[in-house]
Structure 1
Amino acid sequence: MIEFNKRTNTLEQTQYRYSLQDVAQPNLYREIFSYDEIPKCTFNHRRVPMHPADEIWITDTTFRDGQQSRAPYTVEQIVHLFDLLHKLGGPNGIIRQSEFFLYSDRDKQAVYKCQERGYRYPEVTSWIRATKSDFQLAKDMGMKESGILVSCSDYHIFKKLNMTRRQAMEHYMGIIKSAIEVGIKPRCHFEDITRADFYGFVVPFALELRKLMEESGVQIKIRACDTMGYGVCYPGAALPRSVPGIIYGLRHHAGFPSELIEWHGHNDFYKAVSNSSIAWMYGASSVNCSLLGIGERTGNTPLEAMVIEYAQLRGTTDGMDTTVITDIARYYEDEIGYKIPSRTPFAGKYFNVTQAGIHADGLLKDEEIYNIFDTAKILKRPIGVAINQGSGLAGIAHWINSYFELSGSERLDKKDARIAVVKEWVDGQYRDGRVTAIGDDELLQAISLLVPDMPGFGK
């Protein structure tokens, strides 16, 4: 059978209908995941079309997955971070939802206080256990949507649940119907999708969900969970690891529209950001992230990274306030006590700080030479230099101009005699055997003693 697809403007074959393969033994893809070796990435050289959705957005899991790998946030911290997410996402709701646990009194109190904010975005959603009592709890707390775990690899179905594929599908369908019965829109978390039999279980299960969606009139979302970070974005990579193949398959073979497909990635193989971007590019409207990437094991896709990625892909921030990324980073360090690795992109203390003297010389001439974009405007983070044995006169001059916010005629040139005095002190530190960079406070103290007339002091 063929039919005309108005989105692609081509005639397409539609006879492909995948049925559940209820195998007796689990398909563990042992040639790929041998466990005693690094997983292999295989290729079948089949390429699927790139098809970004009309609208893309970000969802947040800071207060769910983000709390599975650290001490729980206090209610006050959650509410403050929720406020910052709202400000960062802007009036157009690019950060559309934030998910919460509903188990403890602290969880519930945080949910209530965030709901009291009255924000349209991000919408408060939940993640619950697959029981009728939890569905009712979510309903009573005003949840319109909730995540439900529906593990889809044979590792989970056979080894964790001790079920067959058919038993698992029937079990999941019963749970999802129970959620719909109490008025909760299900968001089905397809756990471990990058080790799952895509055509033997994932697509047949998704087809059953689509049928239920049509019968009930209730939207059902699929969150494709790369639980172990196995996903790859290489052209021609084979399933189950191909992110383009997964997103394309959910759209083309299972018939799910982009707005009901969400990608949830982990960073075990350093691919969380690239895989999330590719999920967008191949048709998922939503990518699920956490602030600073904090999450299970190596963490989730960093939310701030996808804010910047959105702007790169769409050519606009669409109302997002990117300077809030710096507010979030400072709150984590100053109030929560979380130490952000200093070279973390966009958020770390030294992400836009150069230590090479030759680079500092270029920065003095034009900071665009060595800065990724106008970090002062976009992130409230002026470019900086770290002072060490390689900084030279140019590095010290740039540090002073930047630290004291000197402009116009006040800016110091590297030929200024006062810069030479400071450089002599710096050089002496390293002649005496120092190997570490010189901290801001330490350098300020030296300047106050050596050149107290330095512009900026007393401001």
Structure 2
Amino acid sequence: MNKKIEIMDTTLRDGEQMKGVSYFPQEKLTIAKILLEDVKVDRIEIASAKVSKGEEQSVAEIIDWAKKSSCVEKIEILGFVDKTESVDWIYNFGGKVMNILSKGSMNHLTNQLRKTKEQHAQDIKETVAYANKKGITCNIYLEDWSQGMINSRDYVYYLLNSLRGEPIKRFMLPDTLGILYSSQVYEFIKEILARYPNLHFDFHAHNDYGLATANTLRAVEAGIKGVHCTVNGMGERTGNAPLEEVVVGLHDFLKIKTGIKEKHLFHLSKTVEAFSGHRIAFNKPICGSNVFTQTAGIHADGDKKGNLYVTSLFPERFDRKRQYSLGKLSGKSNLEYNLEEIDIELTKAQKKRVLE
């Protein structure tokens, strides 16, 4: 594989649905700038329409900055199938892209909206038409798409057939409850793409079974054109696919081009950690505090003799540094690495005494 994949980061919208997280407007602006200017994701989703006064201030500040930076088309806002209200809310703040939240399963449609599939399709068309009139580009989420494919596949295809001719740029397929196994992701997306080869599809994973990264990579293998992530896997319940893990997986395993600047991922991760108040696990891949630290003496010795325990995950890729900690399992190589770091020399006898 050598194709280009779009990366959409939804830390500021879906990620903020994590319990206890509520960013100040200036924090959201800072994260948005790092995502687009430094890390260089393709798009960011920054808010939900019609939420709160605080959200209005955040949206206004981010869109004002984006206009000055000529990247307002990369700013997306979640809207609803309400014909005019979400569109007007987004339009009034100068937004240019709305991600419409539609229902991707009969279960959600009948029990939450209490509408027929015909009514829902018509409501979506009217919302899209009004957005188009206002100069707003539409993407559309098929919420609960994964369960729709399992339990009401005919409905999923009815909705796609009804909307395929509408001015919708991207159809976004969420595994809303994180229920899919990787083989199901591949199978379902292959089937969708075979039916609709001319439509652009994104995949949006959740991590309830710890498979969000794997499922996202599998979606790319199946042919998906865009994927959604959040920094540190932030999000409701168990969170979303972590941006840093997905990007590195795309680069290393699938040899996919993304345009993402890896060296800024760690700084972004720590910024989100600080603003959100949710600490990163010490063993979190890519950005955890321990992931480039060797403790066992045999590992330090092997690295010293020929990088025997080194992989393509060089810490320098992420502006980080490899470390060798001292503990009861440490050996001479651990000690020597640390002595070199602080520019101290010991005799063999002194080293032996330290290790004893």
TM-score (norm 1): 0.69
**Is contact 2:39–2:265 with CA below 8 Å preserved after alignment?**
no
Aligned equivalents of 2:329, 2:73: Cα separation in 1 = 46
Q: CA deviation at 1:291?
A: 0.5
Aligned equivalents of 2:241, 2:59: Cα separation in 1 = 23
Equivalent pairs, count: 347
1:282/1:308 CA distance change after superposition, 3 Å? same
**Is contact 2:73–2:97 with CA below 8 Å preserved after alignment?**
no
1:360 aligns with 2:300: yes
Q: Which has the larger radius of gyration?
A: 1
SS at 1:369's partner residue?
coil
Tell me the alpha carbon deviations over residues 327-352 of structure 1, each in whole angstroms, 9 at most, x when there is no partner.
12332445654310000000000012
**Is contact 1:203–1:254 with CA below 8 Å preserved after alignment?**
no
1:140/1:121 CA distance change after superposition, 3 Å? closer
- 171, 178, 192: which one pairs with 1:222? 171
The residue type equivalent to 2:195 in the other structure is H
1:204 aligns with 2:158: yes
User: Partner residue of 2:271?
Assistant: 331
Q: CA deviation at 1:88?
A: 4.0
1:16-415 matches, cutoff 5 A: 54-69=3-18, 70-90=20-40, 95-101=41-47, 102=49, 103-115=51-63, 116-117=65-66, 118-120=69-71, 123-131=74-82, 132-196=84-148, 197=151, 199-211=153-165, 213=166, 218-234=167-183, 242-257=184-199, 260-313=200-253, 315=255, 319-334=259-274, 336-366=276-306, 368-373=307-312, 375-401=314-340, 403-404=341-342
SS at 1:220's partner residue?
strand
User: Which 4+ runs in 1 deviate beyond 6 A?
Assistant: none
Greater helix fraction, Structure 1 or Structure 2? 2
Q: CA deviation at 1:160?
A: 2.0
Aligned equivalents of 2:4, 2:337: Cα separation in 1 = 42
User: Partner residue of 1:422?
Assistant: 354
1:219/1:309 CA distance change after superposition, 3 Å? same
Aligned equivalents of 1:205, 1:267: Cα separation in 2 = 26
SS at 1:329's partner residue?
helix
The residue type equivalent to 1:365 in the other structure is K
**Is contact 1:293–1:303 with CA below 8 Å preserved after alignment?**
yes
SS at 1:80's partner residue?
helix
Aligned equivalents of 2:146, 2:96: Cα separation in 1 = 28
| RCO higher in structure (CA 8 A, sep ≥6) | 2
Task: Give unpaired runs (5+ residues) of structure 2.
Answer: none
**Is contact 1:204–1:254 with CA below 8 Å preserved after alignment?**
no
Tell me the alpha carbon deviations over residues 106-160 of structure 1, each in whole angstroms, 9 at most, x when there is no partner.
3233233333151538811111233212211212222221111111212212222
**Is contact 1:342–1:348 with CA below 8 Å preserved after alignment?**
yes
Task: Give unpaired runs (5+ residues) of structure 1.
Answer: 1-51, 235-241, 425-459
Aligned equivalents of 1:86, 1:271: Cα separation in 2 = 26
TM-score (norm 2): 0.87
**Is contact 1:111–1:124 with CA below 8 Å preserved after alignment?**
no
Identity %: 23
1:438-449 matches, cutoff 5 A: none
Q: CA deviation at 1:399?
A: 3.5
1:124/1:416 CA distance change after superposition, 3 Å? farther
SS at 2:287's partner residue?
coil
Q: CA deviation at 1:177?
A: 3.3
Q: CA deviation at 1:382?
A: 1.6
Tell me the alpha carbon deviations over residues 149-187 of structure 1, each in whole angstroms, 9 at most, x when there is no partner.
111212212222233433433343333333333332221
